[in-house]
Structure 1
Amino acid sequence: MRRPVIGIIGNSHLINDEYPAHAGGSMNSEAVSHVSGGIPLLVPPDPALVSVEELLETCDGFLLTGGRPNVHPAEYGEAETPAHGAFDRARDAITLPLVRACVERGQPFLGVCRGFQEVNVAMGGSLHPEIRDLPGRMNHRMPPDGTLEEKFALRHSVRFAEGGVFHRLMGAPEVMTNTLHGQGIKRAGARIVIDGHAPDDTPEALYVEGAPGFTLSVQWHPEWRAGDDPVSRPLFEAFGQAARAWASGAREWRISA
């Protein structure tokens, strides 16, 4: 059986501040290929180049990656402010309808950081523009200095709902994760189940209730050294299993108890 094709949602960049490019982190492709067992396929996040329908027919699953631009607040009915940061409206136009289509079809996706936020917004939820400004919240942003190892280092715990999907997948009620995000869930969307929280109660893990397929999404970055990390590996392995099942014709995914 062929490896499942995993569409990795890319991000728009300027090389040398002038050459436009679509790019994806190598660690995303490595996690998809080496841990999920899929063929990584970089998707240009622009509806002028590719349609949601074409993506659904081409790929067996999707990795909704992190990215510096944020989901535009107009997507959840709020006005743009300087605190909302930079945006990528073309990516919004691809990922939000893609999430909704995958939920309906049972086609698997794994949301990471911005991808986690996209899943919530796609299902009708909203976001805080800067969670570190909220009373009682910690700073979840990436450290501004240091090596990649220091920036992606484990920095806080995430506690899962007792007996929930993530608890069963990880085999533990609490795990350590990295943290490299500024925004966070404000209002959970319809059918969004928040299954894990940071110590300051920031939502960190979710899935879509009643969806027939794999919809697990996390606010941290499990793609960092996914093959070696005991939290990242089971997440990407389960995603790969779901993508293989979809490629073979199965349309439902459930984690074993």
Structure 2
Amino acid sequence: MGSRAIIGIHAGSLHRSSRRDPEVDRLLTRWIGCLSAAGAIPVVVPDLSCDEGLDELLDLLHGFVVAGERDACDACRDGSDGPCWEPMSEFRLVRAIARRQVPFVGIGLGFQLMNLALGGTVRPLDVDVRGQPFHAYPHNPRHPLEPKDGSLMQTICGARSATVNSSHRCAIDRLAEGLVATAVSSDGVVEAFESLSEDWFALGVQFQPDDSCDWHLSSGIFDTLVDEAMAHGEQMWAPLPVGQPH
């Protein structure tokens, strides 16, 4: 493979309207900038309406990011009942990534969708409980994050705590099998999880590292993904023993 990792950014959940949205452009620019700064070549991947083509797509990529600032809870932010959208394309993508063991980071909405796609559940978050972190407080929402001892998150943080942004109204209820919580807020809300498999690098974070006040934590997440993606790419293109087809 080349000297740089090629990492996909799934933008399907951002593009649910035919109208051009400056907010979508802003988010994509942030994520692209973070991956580029970490030394990767970012590739924006459009929504895929079926499974056809997923394997061919993942054959070309060394890592993947699914991100977003929306929530996956049943209650839409505009107050209407029922899901805001049907994220089946994201579910298919995450499951294919897990099956192929492609290095993966889920951010914000991607964190929630990763858990749902792999069999977990989410719940609405009561953001108005006094004495608890304001996970969706409108003015500079920040709160402490406590990584678990020995976790990848603790290694990335380089400390026993960090301050992260927070703008979500949805929280993990039950973690999917194969995932483990590795960082929580002071009220016990899961803020990060990791794959239990030694063969699959997968990290999910509820906060937005691309807009983090903790530069060390932010850059560490993307740097780690790029390192894992490079290793995955080397395995993808390693020569097979004679007689074994690719």
Letter in 2 for 1:3: R
Distance 1:204 1:20, change over 3 A: closer
Distance 1:131 1:52, change over 3 A: farther
Matched, 1:202 2:189: yes
Matched, 1:247 2:229: no
Distance 1:29 1:132, change over 3 A: same
Letter in 2 for 1:157: P
Q: Give the drift of 1:100.
A: 2.2
- Determine helix, strand or coil for the equivalent of 1:54: helix
The aligned counterpart of 1:167 is 154
Distance 1:250 1:49, change over 3 A: closer
Q: Give the drift of 1:107.
A: 0.8
In 1: Cα distance, 2:122 partner to 2:80 partner:
12
Matched, 1:113 2:108: yes
**Does the Cα contact within 8 Å between 1:5 and 1:61 map onto a contact in 2?**
yes
Scaled by the length of structure 2, what TM-score is found? 0.81
- Say what the alpha-carbon RMSD is for the aligned residues: 3.1
Offset from partner CA, 1:51-103 (integer Å, 9 cap, x none):
422331222111111132x4375xxxx9xxx57776232xx222222222222
Aligned residues: 230
The aligned counterpart of 1:87 is 84
Matched, 1:32 2:29: no
- Determine helix, strand or coil for the equivalent of 1:31: helix
In 2: Cα distance, 1:83 partner to 1:188 partner:
26
- For structure 1, the 5+ residue unaligned runs are 146-150, 252-257
In 2: Cα distance, 1:44 partner to 1:126 partner:
26
In 2: Cα distance, 1:115 partner to 1:50 partner:
21
Matched, 1:123 2:118: yes
Offset from partner CA, 1:108-155 (integer Å, 9 cap, x none):
111101111111111211111234267874331162x6xxxxx4x7x1
Q: Give the drift of 1:208.
A: 1.6
Scaled by the length of structure 1, what TM-score is found? 0.77
**Does the Cα contact within 8 Å between 2:7 and 2:65 map onto a contact in 1?**
yes
- Identical aligned residues as a percent: 27
**Does the Cα contact within 8 Å between 2:145 and 2:163 map onto a contact in 1?**
yes
- Determine helix, strand or coil for the equivalent of 2:209: coil
The aligned counterpart of 1:141 is 136
Letter in 1 for 2:202: T
Distance 1:138 1:176, change over 3 A: closer
- For structure 2, the 5+ residue unaligned runs are 238-246
In 1: Cα distance, 2:147 partner to 2:37 partner:
26
Letter in 2 for 1:88: W
Which stretches of structure 1, 4 residues or longer, exceed 6 Å deviation after superposition? none
- Determine helix, strand or coil for the equivalent of 1:156: strand
Distance 1:229 1:124, change over 3 A: same
The aligned counterpart of 1:254 is none
Please tell me whether Structure 1 or Structure 2 has the larger radius of gyration of its CA atoms: 2
- Determine helix, strand or coil for the equivalent of 1:139: coil
**Does the Cα contact within 8 Å between 1:7 and 1:63 map onto a contact in 2?**
yes
Q: Give the drift of 1:209.
A: 1.1
In 2: Cα distance, 1:45 partner to 1:224 partner:
24
Q: Give the drift of 1:186.
A: 1.0
- Determine helix, strand or coil for the equivalent of 2:181: strand
Distance 1:84 1:65, change over 3 A: farther
Q: 2:49 aligns with which of 23, 47, 57?
A: 47
The aligned counterpart of 1:96 is 91
**Does the Cα contact within 8 Å between 1:5 and 1:39 map onto a contact in 2?**
yes
Letter in 1 for 2:29: S
Letter in 1 for 2:101: G
The aligned counterpart of 1:148 is none
